Structures are given as structure tokens and as C-alpha cells.
Amino acid sequence: MALAGRVMATFRLALIQLQVSSVKSDNLTRACGLVREAAAQGAKIVCLPECFNSPYGTNYFPQYAEKIPGESTQKLSEVAKECSIYLIGGSIPEEDAGKLYNTCAVFGPDGTLLVKHRKLHLFDVDVPGKITFQESKTLSPGDSFSTFDTPYCRVGLGICYDLRFAELAQIYAQRGCQLLVYPGAFNLTTGPAHWELLQRGRAVDNQVYVATASPARDDKASYVAWGHSTVVTPWGEVLATAGTEEMIVYSDIDLKKLAEIRQQIPIFSQKRLDLYAVEAKKP
């Protein structure tokens, strides 16, 4: 399942837990500053949180939406090239042909747009007395898988609620991904219950590293993010995690350890494909 010749690599991953405000220009400036800081500390892949350039909410998505390329993604392209890193641009509200999407744009070390992931599973939930939210009021779902290659490993992308769907992670593992990254903004109801649990589950089930980048917590916001950006190993261990404040989480990703785990517990060769299968219906 590993990419040939890449299992010995170790590289530094940085997750930026950004304090998001209502001022887009301030969010962009602070995000780019923290990306530069992470690169200066040796990070080769840097990830921003979900909705890093705007508050999270169905009333905000139309107000802050922009095209890709646009103001926010142009800034990301420039700072990725300046720092010579792979930059996973969290997500922004994207407008395209009259529809809105929750979209993650990824840029390579030369500033090139490598992939654009539109959130596949929209966050429509109703937990009585705790949280009711309906992304589908304003957003449309994406319809494609999103992976990109680096000199270290292949990376699979999801956004927040995508983390709950085990089939997506399984498809990414089938396609050779060794790191799954989910910019996400769980809340004070789902966060303490499921945030770490889901990450550890996806990691163990697929023997991959899993990383999540959350906005910092703002108790005065209309939607309060859980925080706790996290990296989990293929063994299910929490390798690094944040608190609730703005900070950068660093983690050294050891693909030799991943290869050893897959050799010790060879679940991929032991699957009963004569009895079951998870299959992608689109390329």
C-alpha cells in the first residue's frame, strides 16, 4: 500500500490553529505569518483550519465567498512559493457558477494549485438542546476524491464532517495515501465526544497518519470551535495535540514506522474481498 521508495522518509507537519475573526484581511495576514513561522521551524507540509478566512456559519458563507483563484488563494499560493512548502489551505467558502462550496485548495512549493477539495458530506445535524446546523441551506457538496503527491508520501483530503465517513478514508488508503488531513471545526457538543475518537479510528482502520486542523476557540462566536488540532499515528496514538488557543502544532511524520505497523499487522492483504468491498464509483 505504500508508495515505492518513500517509506523511509521522515518529515515535519505543522497544523495552524488560527484565531479567526470577522475581518478577512486580518485572517489572511495572520495565517500567512504563521505559515512563515511554521516553515522557519522546518515544516514541509503546513495545514490551515476549516474556514480560516471567515467566521463559520451559513449566514457568513455567501458574504465571504470568493472564486478560486481569488484573493485568499492567491495569498496562499504566494506564501507556499515563498516558503517552498506544501500548503493545505484549510478551507474557504468558494463561489462557482452560482453555487457555494466549502473548499480546500492545496499549493505546491512552486505556488501551483495541486488540488481543490470540496467538502463531500455537508454538516446537517440536529442534536436537541445542544446543536442544530444545516450547511445545505447555503452550500453544495463536492463530488470527487482529492489526493496529492509529495516527495514524502501521498496525502488524502477531507473537510470536517468528511471525517465521520469511514468509506472515504478507506478509498484513500486503497489509493496509496499514508497521511489523511482533515481541516475541521467540530463544536462543543461533537468535539469532546467524537473529535479524537474519529481520528484514532480512521488511523487504526487504515494504518495511516491522520491530522486535523481546527480554528482556535472563540467563546464569543456564534459557532464555537472545539480546537484541539491533532496528529494521530497509524497505531492510534495521539502524537501531538493543541489546546484551545491560537498556536502551531508540530509533528514529525515517520513513514518507516507506518511501514513497520503495516508489516506487523498486515490487514490489507488479509481483507476478505470475496465477502465485502468498499469501492469508489468515480475515478
Catalytic residues: 50, 119, 160
For the chain, the C-alpha Rg in angstroms (whole number) is 18
Q: Which strand (E) or helix (H) includes residue 101?
A: strand 99-107
Could you tell me if 166 and 198 are in contact, meaning their C-beta atoms sit under 8 angstroms apart? no
Could you tell me if 227 and 244 are in contact, meaning their C-beta atoms sit under 8 angstroms apart? yes
Q: Measured between alpha carbons, how far is 283 from 281 in angstroms, rounded to an integer?
A: 7
**Phi then psi dihedrals of residue 36, to 5 deg:** -60, -40
- Report the DSSP pairing between strands 238-241 and 131-134: unpaired
Q: Please calculate the CA angle 106-108-114 and round it to the nearest 5 degrees.
A: 50
- Give DSSP secondary structure letters for 184-212: ---BTTHIIIIIHHHHHHHHHHHT-EEEE
Residue reference for cell 486542523: 213
Cα–Cα nearest to 182, from 132, 120, 113, 244? 120
Could you tell me if 176 and 154 are in contact, meaning their C-beta atoms sit under 8 angstroms apart? yes
193 CA to centre of own chain: 19
Joined together, the cell numbers standing for residue 42 give 522546518
